[in-house]
Amino acid sequence: MFGAVYAVDEGAADVLIDVAREFSPRIEIDASPARAAPGDRSPSASPASPQGTRQVVLDLSGLTRLFGDARAMGEALRQTAADRGLRVQVAIAGTRTAARLLVRAASSSVTVVDLGTEAAALARLPIQRLAVLAPSGASLHAPVPSSPRVQSHALSHDAVLATFRRWGLRTLGDVAALPAAAVAARLGQEGVRWQRLARGEDPRPLLPVVQDEHFEQALDLEWPIEGLEPLSFVLDRLLDPLEAQLDRRGRGAAVLHVRLHLVTKTVHERSLQLPAPMRDARTLRTLALLDLESHPPAAAIDRVVVAIEPTPARVLQFSLLTRPLPSPDQISTLMARLGALMGEGRCGSPVAVDTWQPGAFAMNAFAPADPDKSQRESTPRPRASVPRCGVEEKRATTCPAVALRRFRAPVPARVHIDQHTPVRVTTDRMAKRSVCAEPASATSGLSGGDVQRCAGPWRTSGGWWTMAAKAWDRDEWDVTLTDGATYRVFRDRSTDAWFIEGIVD
């Protein structure tokens, strides 16, 4: 069920749209031509732009429990508009086309057509009424083509209507009564489309107008403020109504903009890209304050503006078999605190990069993955088992695993060389080692000592074609010292300095 509301008075587009939105969230601004059809009560019809529209179509399906039957809804629409000083005509029918054709031709302020009787209700209307459905700027008095059968593919809307008049058709009922096959043979699909409109059939579904959502709050301060503590109270006052607005619209914040107007007539603006849609005012305030702590304004603040770019709110579905991850609000707050403590860009998830440089990695934003999904993707497909026996089976079960426990920052060392081979390694820095399975590897610290066995050198270099900070050139050795541990040491050829890179377990 659809309703069409036509404003008799001009210049009331905003009021008309507001009245329509009070009854239905699905409305369509009628793009009627900029001229009136015969029988209109107003000398000019509404233009297609929302600023000058005088007709709106509403989707009234499912609203009978709120407003009553169709007649009650029509009266409620008319009365609501009258309370705001707007005279309107209302037509309610089963199709949009019927409501649009009847709204400006009815003798009463409210017209209701029962479902399924649209064609009968439209049959008495003159054929000129179809002008309200034609594109803007069209005319019913266009020249008639000499041979409709030959030129039907090039017929315009006005030519089709003029042809109907030439055939002696005067009402929409006359057009609807024509055989559809004969109309298609003479006027093509364009003629059939206009015949369906004369019967009140809709050529397409309703296209609702998306309402502009502005999530912004501003506050002019009586006295300038300095520091984050008084600013936090101002942000609370601005973010609380934004949270309520987001909750009513079913939205979450994707980007948070904070604009601080300073007494120096400059604007200090910060934008936060949120990892997940959120609308908790306390979390947004904490994130904004932590960001401003790292990027403070240069002067006192006399105006604060908070704007939010909305996005559909997230829907969380937890598993009954696994432990749920922390909420995105908690993760965002934690990462913001770590970023303020460690520095911007120094917290996140490390990822490998396509390079041979030892220890090279990149830092991405921390975004924990679903453990169930990660486990499913990482679980290999079962393969046919190959029987093992004898020496091969014993070797597969007893072969030790070798791993290099790399130090995050290489430990500076002093290495004595004899005949281009390391003979002694010492260091002043003591680094705790993890306790391994073998008792000999349970030594704590880097005591150093004489080299018992060594292997190397392995020369690696690269990045010389880029910036000097990304270039490396070094010789690597694996040495076993008298303390019973095996180390990876290397010499930086550019500085002739030695370092301990890690311990081999």
319 inside domain: no
For strands 215-225 and 88-93, give the pairing: unpaired
**Are both 52 and 99 inside the same structural domain?**
yes
Same domain (yes/no): 121, 86? yes
Q: Judge whether 14 lies within some domain.
A: yes
Name the H helices within 343-497. Answer: 371-378, 390-398
Q: How confident is the model at residue 13 (pLDDT cuts 50, 70, 90)?
A: confident
409 shares its domain with 300: no
Q: Which class for 253: exposed (0-12), middle (13-18), buried (19 or more C-beta within 10 A)?
A: buried
Do 182 and 230 have their domain in common? no
Q: Does 412 reside within a domain?
A: yes
pLDDT in tens, 300-344: 999 999 999 988 877 666 677 777 667 776 777 777 778 777 777
Range of the domain at 450: 404-504
User: What tens digit of pLDDT does each residue of 238-265 get?
Assistant: 999 999 988 888 888 889 999 999 999 9
pLDDT of residue 469: 64
Alpha carbon 146 to chain centroid, angstroms:
55
- Residue 261 and residue 294 in one domain: yes
Pair (38, 166) in one structural domain: yes
0.85 exceeded by pTM: no
- 199 CB-contact burial (10 Å; exposed 0-12 / middle 13-18 / buried 19+): buried
Residues 19 and 63 in one domain: yes
Q: Are residues 411 and 479 in the same domain?
A: yes
Chain segment 110-164, per-residue pLDDT in tens: 888 888 888 898 888 888 888 777 654 333 333 444 444 434 344 566 788 888 8
* CB distance 207 to 300 below 8 Å: no
Q: Count of alpha carbons within 13 Å of 265, Cβ hemisphere only?
A: 0
Contacts for 345 with CB less than 8 Å, ≥ 6 apart: 339, 363
Does residue 244 share a domain with residue 159? no
Distances (CA, A) of 286 to 113, 280, 368: 57, 10, 21
Any domain includes 203: no
| Sign of the Cα pseudo-torsion (135, 140, 141, 143, in order) | positive
CATH number of 54's domain: 3.30.70.270
- Does some domain include residue 416? yes
Residue 29 burial by Cβ neighbours in a 10 Å radius (0-12, 13-18, 19+): buried
Residues 164 and 42 grouped into a single domain? yes
Final residue of a structural domain among 312, 331, 349: 312
Asked which of 262, 283, 312 is the last residue of a domain, the reply is: 312
Would residue 325 count as lying in a domain?
A: no
120 and 9, same domain (yes or no): yes
Q: Count of domains in the chain?
A: 3
pLDDT band at 231, cuts 50/70/90? Answer: very high
Residue 93 located in a structural domain:
yes
What CATH number is given to the structural domain containing 222? Answer: 3.30.1490.100
Q: Check whether residue 188 and residue 230 sit in a common domain.
A: no
From 198, 223, 246, give the residue that closes a domain. Answer: 198
User: Quick check: 424 and 444 in contact, CB under 8 A?
Assistant: no
Tokens (6 digits) for 311? 């996005």
